[in-house]
Structure 1
Amino acid sequence: MLLDIDWNIEFNTNGKRYRLAILDSCEVFSSVDNLADTATIVLPEAIMNEVLNFENKIARGTSVLIQFGYNQELQTEFTGFIRDITVNDSSLKILCEDSLFLFRKSVPNAELKPTTLKSIAQYIIDNVDPSFKLDCTYDISYEKFTINQANGYDVLRKLQEETKANIYFDNEAKVLNIHPPYIEKGGTVFYSMQKNIENSSLEFKNRLDTKVEITVESTDVKGNVKKTTSGTTGGEQITLKVGSVDDKSLQAIADAELLKRSAPRYEGTFDTWLVPMVKPTYSARIKDEDYPDKTAYYYVETVVTSISSTGGVRTITPGIKLS
């Protein structure tokens, strides 16, 4: 069956919709390790010696819709906003970011105590864009959390760094999601080294003999340092420092980091086509007929999707083994 690559990129400015008619390449990057999905649209700077003119049509803050597919069957790959437009090396680049773009606004200084991860995130929403909803399933409690001369992005980044939470936006539903790592599951996809994987640098790491000891330290409101550990005494020692969270939250953060570092997993990436659709949090069943013992479901951590004159490619980074 012959598959012809198709795409649709639209911009919306003040209620006026513009459809892109030319394209050099486009890449969409999505990862559970990043707060935002991003997209880079590359255009030639000029066509037939005539410079492209986007004046009054697109600019920073213009909304963006990106769709890819085959034979006119398109799937939405990205929705968000233009963050910057640059010109270099005879090309024009349109840099886009998902709804995190809207949260790069300052929030009032505050000292929240006691508080929770959920309450902090709701404070950010209430002071940046109350039209967003919050879906938070991560039970982390802080004795005190201070916000000082920060914007919404700064606070969300700190929360992600400290708690190891999976934080991302559902742009179309206008929902800020915050969940424990590896708990939330998206869809299910199937891959075979012999059928629909084009290139692979995957290397299986069993890690059954890997010894890791995670220590998480926190300083309470009185200045006292408390710590908790997870893992095997005598193993590789990793220390994390977080804010003034309670004992239960300390243990949850330590256990999450231990899972990330000690669970069996694939390391590396593999390339496949635009179908099936896959996103971070999906469960990918990866089969290799030459090594049937490695066939299992793996957590999808990162997906990079790109199209150009040579076709469409998804580069997938799987994570820990699920089953």
Structure 2
Amino acid sequence: MALDPDIAAVMHRFGVDGPAPVPLPGAAERRAGHREFARAVAPEAPPPAGSVADDTLAGVPVRIYRPRPPGPAPAVVYCHGGGFVVGDLDTHDAICRRLCRDVEAVVIAVGYRLAPEHPFPAAYEDCLAVARHVAGHPERFGGGSGVFALAGDSAGATLAAAVALALRDAGTPVAAQLLAYPVTDLTGRGGYPSMEENATGYGMTTAAIENDILLYVGNDPGTAADGRASPLLAESHRGLAPAVIGVGGFDPLRDQVLAYARALEEAGVTVRSHLYPGLVHGFVDYAALAPAADAAVAELVRELRTLLRPAAAAPPRAVPR
């Protein structure tokens, strides 16, 4: 399968269709560039929400999106992507609004601390603290529905998966997890062919991924192998929440994402896994400019809705005459 032409055009437009620059820019420069990119690819008319408000939960900045009309709704804690180094509440506003609208959920986006200033486990601890707070206050987040989920993209999906493991161990019910192209093995020892096949030319490069991992977990192999950092390497995946997982065919992380989906399936977890052959890492960001990316995001969001709102997602029954 060839690279989706619309994706290729967007990457060429932003100059990310070649090798990673040497040396890689510093964190501050990358964060500014990522914010500029997010503004450039954002939809002209952001999906509407009933209300959007910034707040602090468990000492962590969050942005809370509430659907309209108000009433009982699922709660979704969203962890943004950015390689543990970039990204914020603004860069992922569009996907959070879309989840709020299309799932009809209260979405709580987490403004977790970033590496290298705050290495592992800071981001994990922030996301876990917010998730625990939300799960413990269903009357505030979801109007008492008690239906709670985790979601994220890229590094944020890694954090969501790690938090799902922690909440399972604590006995906290999680209805679903939506994981868009997570990095699931930070050790670099997995031997994943896609890390070489898709190393350059498709936006996110293998060199950039490896650099971000180093900034997040450092040089200690034991830290990288910690299940809180590398969900694939957790001791057990049994009893985890049903998962919706998506990855592009031209993503360097493709093979370890699919390995995580298989690990969950082998542990008896319900998994809806999707490989999108023509897409790249970060396709959630391209949804407003590439129809294939938009279709992939729509499918993932729809399947999350099905898990969280099974009655609402099912087709209406015929009324007997």
* TM-score of the pair, normalised by structure 2: 0.25
Bigger fraction of residues in helix: 2
Greater CA radius of gyration, 1 or 2?
Answer: 1
More strand by share: 1
- Structure scoring higher RCO (CA < 8 A, sep ≥ 6) equals 2
